[in-house]
Chain A
Amino acid sequence: MRFYFSKKEKKHLKEMYQKNAIPSYLYHNIVSKLKSTGYIMSKGGSSGLIFVKRGMILLVAILIFFTGYYTASKNQHKAMKTNRNNYMLIVHNDDIPPADPHLQAKEYGKWLTEMKTVRIASGEQLRENGWILSALAGLQIREVPSFKGKEGIGGYFIFEADNKEEALQIAQTCPHLKYKGTIELRELY
């Protein structure tokens, strides 16, 4: 004969010892013990701080990756990604100043958001400052005062497309062209 708990019994069992809440000092006791045995580095030491920073950066990066992966996996179009290629749309800076930079940036953001509803995509606007690192004659780092002008890159978008034709079609809808700007489409490995 098989026995099961009734709902009421199960409820009571789950509620047992609820008044015995986990004491907050328990965490501090555990941490201080782990610190005393060296399993947790104490704050204050310079090497400890470096580890903390590196660890946290890594943690954030990995969590962002997993969050992104999770979000992407929830996307209804995720099934299409396997046979798709990734493309980068490089947005050049142009001599023509935008009428309203804020509005323009907003429009670019909206375009990206719309694109995300049907495919995996991302993009960022680049700041005007930057550095060039060259190893031709030993490592040299020079600051580039401004990326303004036709040679500069103002931002980029990365998106998925089935093929070159589709990627070109998507690129043509980029608002930067509306502002008579130049964009460059590159296929990623």
Chain B
Amino acid sequence: MKNPIDRVLVETWLIARDEAAFRLIYYRHKNAVWRVAIRLCNGDQLKAEEIVQDTWIRAIEKVQEFKWQSSFKTWLIGILINRWREELRKDSYLEKMQVNIKLQDQVYEIPHETKMDIERTFEALPLEYKEVITLYDIEGFKHKEIAEMLGIAEGTSKSRLSDARSAFKKRFGKLVSH
């Protein structure tokens, strides 16, 4: 069984429906959920809060249907990504993100291999690249888990990561050679 503790906590919550059991589940995964959300939202705190809140509510609403074939965390992050993609489908939000990226590129004049350069390069990546880098390189999920979260084949996750890293390197190289 994957992460029996999660299952025990969820089963307990399903019996008791009380806050104490939920709190234990929440505190086990709150940081991972938040980190992914804030990265995908390019540091947009308000948007990340909205997405995280909806993720937890949806997870609780659907947890009875969860088959425990993947880990609870993988399933939770999958919900988060779906929620984030819904947000992206709202044209206004996507436009806002793209405008921000353009602005960042314009003001970027003297690049160095600094934290800020890396952040800007990451933020300017295509959204699907940002997903795999966040999940694999930053959060340490395996390709199998990422495939489950994103609803893609494991091989696609691998090739997408390779493309994402390549895109990052090219963009970063371009920035630092200005």
Chain A residues at the B interface, C-beta cutoff of 8 Å = 1-5, 8-10, 12-17, 20, 22-23, 26-27, 29-31, 33-35, 37, 39-41, 43, 48, 51-52, 54-56, 58-59, 62-63, 66
Q: List 17 A-B contacts (CB under 8 A).
A: A4-B165, A5-B168, A9-B172, A13-B118, A13-B138, A20-B38, A20-B45, A23-B45, A33-B53, A35-B19, A39-B61, A43-B18, A48-B17, A51-B17, A56-B12, A59-B8, A66-B8
Nearest CB of A to B76, in Å: 13
Q: Which listed residue, B48, B60, B133, B137, touches A34 by the CB 8 Å rule? A: B60
Q: Which residues of B contact A48 (CB under 8 A)?
A: 17-18
Q: Which listed residue, B4, B26, B57, touches A33 by the CB 8 Å rule? A: B57
CB atoms of B57 and A17 under 8 A apart: no
Q: Which listed residue, B30, B165, B172, touches A27 by the CB 8 Å rule? A: B30
In the complex, A63→B20 CA distance in Å? 14
Q: Which residues of B contact A16 (CB under 8 A)?
A: 39, 43, 115, 118-119, 122, 138
CB atoms of A39 and B19 under 8 A apart: no
Question: Interface extent on B, as a size class?
Answer: 35 or more
Residue in chain A with minimal CB distance to B5: A66
Nearest CB of A to B65, in Å: 14
Nearest CB of B to A147, in Å: 35
Q: 20 other contacts beyond A2-B165, A13-B122, with CB at 8 A cut-off?
A: A2-B162, A12-B118, A13-B133, A17-B35, A17-B38, A17-B39, A22-B31, A27-B30, A29-B53, A34-B22, A37-B61, A39-B17, A41-B16, A52-B20, A55-B16, A55-B17, A55-B18, A59-B16, A59-B21, A63-B5
CB atoms of A30 and B53 under 8 A apart: yes
Q: Which residues of A contact B5 (CB under 8 A)?
A: 63, 66
CB atoms of A20 and B16 under 8 A apart: no
Chain B residues at the A interface, C-beta cutoff of 8 Å = 4-5, 8-9, 12-13, 15-24, 26, 30-31, 34-35, 38-39, 43, 45, 48-49, 52-53, 56-57, 60-61, 113-115, 118-119, 122, 133, 137-138, 162, 165-166, 168-169, 172
CB atoms of B18 and A41 under 8 A apart: yes
Nearest CB of B to A81, in Å: 19
CB atoms of B15 and A55 under 8 A apart: yes
In the complex, A27→B30 CA distance in Å? 9
Residues A3 and B165 in contact in the complex (CB < 8 Å), given A51-B17, A56-B20: yes
In the complex, A30→B53 CA distance in Å? 6
CB atoms of A54 and B15 under 8 A apart: yes
In the complex, A22→B38 CA distance in Å? 9
